[in-house]
Structure 1
Amino acid sequence: MKTLVLSLAALLIASPALAGQAVSLRSDTTDADGRVTLGELFDGAGAASDMVIATRAGPTVVLDAAQVQITARRAGLDWSNPNGVRRIIVRAGSGSGGDGALAGASRGNVEVLAYARSMATGDIVQPEDLIWVKAAASPSDAPRDADALIGMTAKRALRQGSAASLRDVSTPLVIKAGDIVAVTYEDAGVALTLQGKAMAAGAVGDSLMVQNTASKKIIETVVTGPGSTAVGPQAMRLKASRNSLRYAAR
């Protein structure tokens, strides 16, 4: 019995240490020498401050917040991520130098997202393609978060160092001109499907003219996914949803 009491007491004494040291993400995440440490990411990192968790080869490095949280926990730190951050962008500190190609873009008073490399039309924007820089002004439709651009397709050639804007990109095309697609009508439990040939390329939510392969009649549809389109109430809802998103982005 005495042994059991002592064991329980030991667990109670040790439990605060097992919980981890609470830390908060710094508002300005920069590193001094290309090696990103927990102390450069978090306030209150204490003894774990010098632990290197990533390296930065260019002006910025984009870290996955969930992976950072796991790494911090293993080091005895508890970051609750109260704001639901998905990615952490770490920039070069003021004394660490930078990429000469982007030096001109880094002067100014406004922080904007810019392209870390030149991109061709049709390229998919990846996390490492975006950096935060200082600029004299930002585009009227400048994205507030990198997630608005990541995974999107470049609509035109984009120059390294130029400020990013929402009009630079579009949703990736899921249908090509000439593809055979399914056209679906759904309403009140009734579902009908026919085959048609896409007259153009389209992304999810785009209006797309499709030729019925049987009747040769051309109908207007809305793209719902790879190889699939819709007509009727479902198509109207998709168009209304996309139009509201476009209006909100202006």
Structure 2
Amino acid sequence: MKPMRAAMHLAKRSAALALASALASAALVLPARAAELRTDVTVTENVVTLGDLFDGAGDAARIVVADAPAPGFTSDISISRISLAARRSGVAWRNTTGLTHITVARAGTAVPEPEVAAAVSSAIMAATPALPVTAKLQIDFANGHAGVQVGIEQPLSVKVEQIAFNARTGSFDALLRAPANDLASPLRRVSGRAYPVLDVPVLTRDVAPGDVVRRQDIDWIRLPANRVSQNIITAEAQLVGMSPRYPVRTGEPLRMSDIQPPVVVAKGAQVDMTYVSGALTLTARGRALQSGAIGDTVDILNPRSNRTVQGIVEGPNMVRIEAFGAPRAAAELKS
């Protein structure tokens, strides 16, 4: 009996091993879970991997399929190229939808427009000796914006590698590198127009005749230089402390003929007349026969003598009698 039991035990053990082997073999031939191809792909690095393209790429996720486009741009990768990379890397996938390509976008960060415009302006100035050193150039990009981007967390900088500028038409065409100091970064082409401009002061509120312009009333606008005539006010000092001759509207450039020193002596107003000569000081009251701003010479009637003297306006209703009429003026003020 013992030999029979041993034989039966051996048979059971062999059957169990055979079953286990069969199950293992079956597991080896079972298909792996199919990977799913993404149809909306955005990458942040400079290469596109199987992990970027597929859900379920597994250990093959880091396999590089193609170079990524420049930041802010897109590129297409053919399905045949993707299938070959997947098959060689053991990624189970079949093109059952008839796709021919996948579009991949590269995420980026926009370089600020003023940064790009300043780089282009400096390059044009350096390449065009005829432009004045003090000139300011307005840069208008052809598409309304430069659209230069760099990779995520890369420096927000640009460098002009080449510039072509037509001084007659103002058109330019430039090749930029972004970031500026990355020799491996792609060149970007931008184009547009560049033209000289001037910053012109304007008022931030409506100012009526008699009102005095203050520094806080001033803002600045930028105009093409060929639209700024010689009599347009271009400096803050020409405007502060002045008064408009006519009502002035907000935001409009002003001409020199639009303003005047503020009138501080009105025609018909009572004024204080002062004459000083050494230790002698004479004062009297008079009536202005003319309106005047500080520094203007006006006629003043001395009501006591009913005679007219001339004086220079020094302040609100204050007039100084000059030495050229000293004897007569002194006599008039004493009378």
**TM-score after normalising by structure 2:** 0.34
**Larger relative CO (CA 8 A, sep 6+): 1 or 2?**
1
State the TM-score, normalizing by the size of structure 1: 0.45
Work out which of the two has the higher radius of gyration on C-alpha atoms and give 1 or 2.
2
